[in-house]
Amino acid sequence: MGRRVARKTADGAESKMNLRSLLSESVRPLILGHQNADPDAVCAMIAFSTLYRAINPAGSPVLLADDLSRLSHQVIDTFTSDVPILETSDVVGDLVILVDTNSTFQLGPKLQKVPQDPSRTIILDHHEYNPEVETLSEHRLVKSDRSSTCEIMVDIFEEEMIRIDPATANLLLTGILFDTRRFYFADTKTLQTAIRLIEYGADYERCIKALLMRPDRSERIARLKAAGRIKIHMIGDWVLATSTISAFEASVCRSLIEMGADVAIVGGSPSKGVVRVSSRSTREFSTATSVNLGKDVMEPLGDIIGGKGGGHENAAGANGTKGLEEAIVKSVDLIRTIIEREHEPTSEP
């Protein structure tokens, strides 16, 4: 039985669409990842192309992403070399699949206009809800409670009764390891999924090694420069660190958390008219405060910087074109407001 993907009808009611039928009818699907695609996106994209070929051997999928992260390149070199991921293509697809994103803005300028027809667009994602999906796609499988898009892909393979080969198992386990920070952000279901992937033939040690990469010289310098620009904000007992840098915002966020911050907000402007903000928090912080970086901070910041924002509870980002300094200040204000509101004494009736 084919996978059922929820979609909305014109009157707002939910109907069902068969994923197998969509893929069987498609001759040239375009499989899109977000800009600067990370290992979860890249591994899920390649796995989806494998799923598609199992359903429709005669088809010719095209994988597209506006740039890949340095680590993603290493993962591809480790596990596969015969699945090209292009930055652009003149190919006109008959079906578009957005993988690990639910926003056209996050596709990057080269691919933002590729999705045109909601009836021929599928979204596979695990990020927080984005209202844009209502007009972007009629076929959506979005599970914000799952650790990674690769984890969702395992469910799809199994529900379509398509066996996961060892090569695909390696990719999916690597994507899960990346997005869970080696299972730091994982629940029982995620761990059970990882065990099944190992049973399918994934090499756990090889997957771990594929994600080990010493930052290059420019990234290390960026971390050190950002450390010198840190501003410390005390909100109750919580330590919030902000900084700015021209590149490697996510890497700098991680380093600030490792240095002792409970929350890290880092903004950058790598070129004129490009603004990026990245954020990270500890699980202890999010559990105690209920602050969701994706929904509570980065989504509203997207409007300030003239773009889009979103992500997860403990890791989120926003991309835009302006207002970097204002966005950094606003992010602190948003977090402070939530924490202070949560700890306001309730008046006696």
What's the confidence (pLDDT) of residue 4?
Answer: 53
DSSP H helices, the chain, are: 19-25, 39-55, 70-79, 133-136, 149-159, 166-179, 188-200, 204-210, 217-228, 249-259, 283-289, 299-304, 324-342
For residue 10, pLDDT over 90 is answered with: no
Average pLDDT over residues 17-33: 92
Measuring CA to CA, which residue among 331, 311, 305, 327 is closest to residue 34? Answer: 311
For the chain, the maximum distance between any two Cα atoms, rounded to a whole number of angstroms, is 69
pLDDT category at 16 given cuts 50, 70, 90 is: very low
* pLDDT tens column, 321-340: 999 999 999 999 999 999 98
User: Residue 318: left (phi > 0), alpha (psi -120 to 50), or beta?
Assistant: beta
Q: Which of 44, 37, 36, 33 is nearest to 171 (CA)?
A: 44
Note the pLDDT of residue 343.
67
Written in H, E and C, the secondary structure of 6-60 is EEECCCCCEEEEEHHHHHHHCCCEEEEECCCECHHHHHHHHHHHHHHHHHCCCCC
CB atoms within 10 A of CB 236: 12
Q: Which domains can be identified in the chain, with CATH numbers?
A: 4-210 (3.90.1640.10), 218-342 (3.10.310.40)
Q: Which residues pair with 120 in a beta bridge?
A: none
Instruction: Give yes or no for residue 89 having a pLDDT over 70.
Output: yes
**SS3 state of residue 164:** coil
Q: What pTM does this model have?
A: 0.78
